[in-house]
Structure 1
Amino acid sequence: MKNRSMTRRLIFSLTATLIVFWLLATIAGMFVMQDEFGEIFDGSLQATTERLTPLVVDDVLQSAEVSDARRQQSLNESTHKGYLTYQVRDATGKVILHSHDVSATPFVAPLKRGFFQDDVSRFYTVPAVNNTIFVQVADSLAHRTEAAVEGGLALLLPVLVLIPVSIIGIWLIVRRSIEPVNDLREAIAGKDSGNLAPIELSTLPRELQPIVTSVNRLLERLRSTLKAEREFTANSAHELRTPLAGALAQTQMLKSELRSEGSKSRLALIEASLQKLIRLVEKLMQLARAEAKIGTSNEAADLGKVLELVIEDFNRASETDGRIRYSRAKAATLVRPVSEDAFAIVLRNLIENALIHGDQQAPVKISLEPGGTVRIANDGPVLGADELVSIRQRFSRGKTTSPGSGLGLSIATELASQMGATLELKSPATNASTGFESILHFS
């Protein structure tokens, strides 16, 4: 199932809820407006009728000598079309006068004071001259409905602006509200074997504090576990080295005391096996330390000095025979928050591979370049692309008869990844047609 955005879900839900409530409020407001408009229109209808009555009665009485047709024409010429229409009727219901925009057909309203309503209009009747003249004014119900609808539409129009504005506003509010969640996420994401310090986010909301507490407890257990594992690895390495070194020493002493060539040859085989076992134990201990995630450090270290110390150690060993050629570019520095021990393990494995598997008569070139790049190149046969991939695997030695365990490159690759570096393998070497090159790139 595709992961859903909590922010998007909140924006959609809150905006939809806001719009629904606005629509419900608008509908309720339309009903309230309709009632209120009804009261206002009724008041206006009644006031208009009562004010019109004396004028109409006076006009009728003063114009008694004028024919009905002439009086009707004169009155109609002075009126204009409006929302209110009227009729003046006598006691028999006959229409004496009427608005020019209504017919002479009598209104359906009865001849008695008060309101009356049918499906089309609402009427108000006022009697005069001892109930001999009745003035009736009609107000169209369509006019009232139109006013209520227009009022409702006026309330709905803000929704068109409300939707985009509310989305932007809610997005800003939600984004600000979930900032502590993002801070906690980034703090947790930054934790690895090299950084297991407790999370200190005192400004987090109360709802997130239990999560911080639980994560800190987990980090504490991880620190304890890794510490115990590293201590076990270090102790195991020491405990294994001691008896193996003792057995090798006793074997070498016994070899020097024996006179029989057959016994010496057998002891030589035993000595070689012990030396191979010591190298294998050393590699296994390095692999265990690599799996214990020792690559990073909380403090920056000058790895350039570590590189020079490792090269100096190799130059002091008789088996290197002065084959190492080291160069350092001007102003080339390599300072990173990396474990010096892990960096030294990577260098030793890469340099050992170059010395053992390269041409024994050719030098091993090591260089430190600006930007944090270490190159280790040796001469030898060219390796294919598939072989460059396979030799990174554990216990994979490629096509070689040289001694080794097949763990050096896998250890170097693992530790390089932990140190935030990439280990590139090239064959042939840079600017050469033969050889092999290991390039350690630090970001």
Structure 2
Amino acid sequence: MTDDAPQKGGRRAARPRRKSLAGRLMLWITVTITALWLVAVGFGALIMHDEFGEIYDSALQETAERLTPLLLDDLRRRDDLETPQRIDASRPPAEEEYLSYQVRDLTGRVLLHSHSATARPFEAPLRTGFWQAGNGRIYTATAADGTIFVQVKDTAEEREEATREGSLALLLPVLLIVPITIAAVWLAVRRALAPVETLRAAIAEKDGGNLAAIEATHLPVELQPILRSVNLLLARLRAVVAAEREFTSNSAHELRTPIAGALAQTQLLLTELKDAPARTRAQQIETSLQKLTKLTEKLLQLARAEAGIGVAETTFDIADVVGVVVTDFQRASDDAQRIRFSSELAVPRLCEGAADAFAIVLRNLIENALLHGKAGAPVDIRLTGEGNVCISNAAPRLSEAELVAVRKRFARGRTAAAGSGLGLSIAERLLQQMRASLVLTSPIPGRVDGFQAEIVFPAAG
């Protein structure tokens, strides 16, 4: 069963999603680069946080040490030290003060404090050094006599804001650098994988109609073994196809000769027999041998089609082959008067493939039209301006299911005429090898009945 075989319930098997090598590389490279940049930003933010802490601590200590003599001098000039005094109470407080300070005695009582500081003592102990409070960091400076302590505090929000803005300053360039880096990597990956895509496209072109070796041009060393293996496989396939063609040709000769001899002997016997019963049997033998001859011819054509006789590196003129085949039918067929040929082709139309194979296709389609068409009705053979060939005949209208069924081997439509049911299969197989297609239509376009077989060639390059 093939991949397209219908499953139970009328559903088709789901095809696995194809994964691209370039897509995988881009995904992993993108994830890796982004992760590395984010890790770098994280480490940078940690280092920056520590450095900012050192800078703020240094500024805090220097501020406290510079304020100490000034505040001591201010204390000496004040008379009322029973209640905490605010420095320069007449001046309105600034909108935003990052530092606040208090002057305390040995008992911890607040003597002086800044505008932003409260009269409640800071939670730091009365000893020289830093203290980490819940909402900021405090440095305590001690007067020379050891009785007065100046405590300067900065807010935690200030430090966090500095770290946050610094981290953002590191992250913003990353948001620009990462896409640029990914774009550069994408271009590099595309350029590096271009030979792989070239080789893939060259291999994809190979089918039953093209088994020529792939040219080994501009491929990197890593792909050379693959190319050699593919060319070796193609060479083996060419040898197999050649052997099948030779066998088919020999078989055709060996089969035709004894059948033709038996038919000739039967026909000679008919001329000698006068007795009615014996003559009737001889006539039945003749009819059977004639059917066997036609069936053998079709089977040999089918075998040749399967062997790939339509594959050729040459070209032929479609109009020339059609003209020759139509002329042969008009000369040799009993229904020559039924055949009507017309051509709309203004210039020669060349097609890749074997002219003999195309002639077999035409013969099968014309024979089918004459055999299965309405008796006495004309068979129209038209060569279109694009180089396609339309063969139509009068016949009852066929349904879509019947059009599909007649394509199968040994399948026949609603007809009582003799035949093997192989003509369309042979024609379709040979046309595939010539990169053409067979389109069956019923009724004929513009009519209510009839049957049309159209040979559609690829557009001329």
TM-score (norm 2): 0.79
1:40 corresponds to which residue?
55
Residue 225 (structure 1) aligned with residue 249 (structure 2)? no
1:27-75 deviations in whole A, cap 9, x for unaligned?
A: 33333222211211121112222322343344445x36x5548994564
Distance, in Å, in 1 between the alignment partners of 2:292 and 2:132 is 112
Distance, in Å, in 1 between the alignment partners of 2:102 and 2:383 is 110
Matched to 1:310, the amino acid is: V
Distance, in Å, in 2 between the alignment partners of 1:435 and 1:93 is 114
| Contact 2:102 2:110 (8 Å CA) reproduced | yes
1:285 pairs with one of 300, 308, 311: 300
Residue 404 (structure 1) shift: 2.9
2:68 pairs with one of 53, 74, 93: 53
1:382 pairs with one of 396, 399, 404: 396
1:88 pairs with one of 103, 118, 130: 103
Matched to 1:229, the amino acid is: E
TM-score (norm 1): 0.82
1:139-168 deviations in whole A, cap 9, x for unaligned?
A: 334433343344334445567667877776
Distance, in Å, in 2 between the alignment partners of 1:259 and 1:27 is 108
2:40 corresponds to which residue?
25
Residue 209 (structure 1) shift: 4.2
Q: 1:323 to 1:146 in 2, by over 3 A?
A: closer
| Contact 1:194 1:294 (8 Å CA) reproduced | no
| Contact 2:85 2:113 (8 Å CA) reproduced | yes
Residue 228 (structure 1) shift: 1.4
Other structure's SS at 1:242 match: helix
Aligned positions of 1:420-435 closer than 5 A: 420-426=435-441
Comparing 181-190 with 5-14, greater Cα deviation is found at 5-14
Distance, in Å, in 1 between the alignment partners of 2:268 and 2:326 is 31
Distance, in Å, in 1 between the alignment partners of 2:260 and 2:203 is 44
Residue 412 (structure 1) shift: 1.9
Comparing 70-79 with 292-301, greater Cα deviation is found at 70-79
- Report the number of matched residues: 439
Q: 1:101 to 1:320 in 2, by over 3 A?
A: closer
1:404 corresponds to which residue?
419
Distance, in Å, in 1 between the alignment partners of 2:332 and 2:361 is 18
Other structure's SS at 2:97 match: coil
Q: 1:269 to 1:171 in 2, by over 3 A?
A: same
1:83-122 deviations in whole A, cap 9, x for unaligned?
A: 2222334566554433232234454545554434444443
Matched to 1:368, the amino acid is: L
RMSD in angstroms over aligned alpha carbons? Answer: 3.8
| Contact 2:105 2:111 (8 Å CA) reproduced | yes
Other structure's SS at 2:383 match: strand
1:371 pairs with one of 386, 391, 411: 386
Residue 103 (structure 1) aligned with residue 118 (structure 2)? yes
Residue 145 (structure 1) aligned with residue 170 (structure 2)? no
Distance, in Å, in 1 between the alignment partners of 2:32 and 2:389 is 60
1:216 corresponds to which residue?
231
2:339 pairs with one of 275, 300, 324: 324
Identity level (%): 51
Other structure's SS at 1:331 match: coil
2:11 corresponds to which residue?
none
Q: 1:52 to 1:225 in 2, by over 3 A?
A: same
